[in-house]
C-alpha cells in the first residue's frame, strides 16, 4: 500500500499502489439489491468537507473471488491469478492485464461456465459513467478475440462492443455452450 501524503492536504486520498496477494474477496448483493462492496458515497452524495479516494494502481495476485447476487440468482466463483489495473499518463484511463480462472458461473441453477480461463489485455478511457475500450484483446478458453467499444453504467450496465475473431475452431466455440 503506497499513499501520496501530499494529497491529504487537498482532502484527497490517493493510493499510488494497492497490492493484494493470496486472499479472498466475497461480494454479495441481497434480494433488495443492496451490496457489500459500495462503502463510499458517490460524488453526487458527497459534500465539500469530505475526502475523496483514488487508486492509481491496483494489483491482485492469487485471489479467490466469489460473487453472489441473490436478487438475480447469479453465482460466480473464480480465482484471479493476476490482475493489474492502473491509470495511464495520469489521465482518466485504465489499463487492465488479467488472467482469471472461472470455476463456476451459475444463473438460476443453470451452470453456464465451468473451469474456464480468461486472459484479458484492455486499455480504456473513462468519462463519468462511460468506459471506452480503445485496445482490447481477450483469450477465453483458447478462443482469441479483439474488442472495442463502450461499457456504460446507467441503471444497469450496457455493453456496446465490436468483437473481431478469426481462425477459431468451430468445436472450440461449441464447447462454450452450456449443457
- Residue-wise pLDDT for 94-153, tens only, equals 788 888 888 888 888 888 888 888 899 998 888 878 889 988 999 988 888 999 999 998
pTM, to two decimals: 0.66
pLDDT at 5 (0 to 100): 62
**Angle formed at CA 126 by CA 24 and CA 35, multiple of 5 degrees:** 40
**pLDDT at site 90:** 53
Answer whether residue 55 shows pLDDT above 80: no
* Cβ atoms of residues 156 and 142 within 8 Å: no
Amino acid at each position: 500500500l503506497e499513499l501520496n501524503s501530499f494529497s491529504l492536504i487537498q482532502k484527497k486520498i490517493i493510493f499510488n499502489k494497492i497490492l493484494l496477494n493470496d486472499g479472498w474477496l466475497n461480494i454479495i448483493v441481497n434480494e433488495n439489491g443492496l451490496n457489500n462492496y459500495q462503502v463510499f458515497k458517490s460524488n453526487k452524495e458527497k459534500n465539500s468537507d469530505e475526502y475523496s479516494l483514488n487508486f492509481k494502481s491496483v494489483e491482485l495476485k492469487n485471489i479467490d473471488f466469489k460473487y453472489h447476487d441473490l436478487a438475480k440468482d447469479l453465482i460466480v466463483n473464480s480465482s484471479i491469478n493476476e490482475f493489474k489495473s492502473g491509470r495511464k499518463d495520469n489521465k482518466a484511463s485504465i489499463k487492465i492485464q488479467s488472467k482469471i480462472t472461472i470455476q463456476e458461473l451459475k444463473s438460476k441453477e443453470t451452470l453456464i461456465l465451468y473451469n474456464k480461463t480468461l486472459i484479458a489485455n484492455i486499455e480504456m478511457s473513462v468519462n463519468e459513467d462511460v468506459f471506452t475500450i480503445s485496445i482490447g484483446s481477450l483469450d477465453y478458453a483458447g478462443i482469441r478475440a479483439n474488442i472495442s467499444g463502450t461499457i456504460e453504467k446507467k441503471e444497469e450496465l450496457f455493453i456496446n462492443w465490436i468483437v473481431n475473431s478469426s481462425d477459431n475452431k468451430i468445436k472450440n466455440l461449441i464447447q462454450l455452450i452450456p449443457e
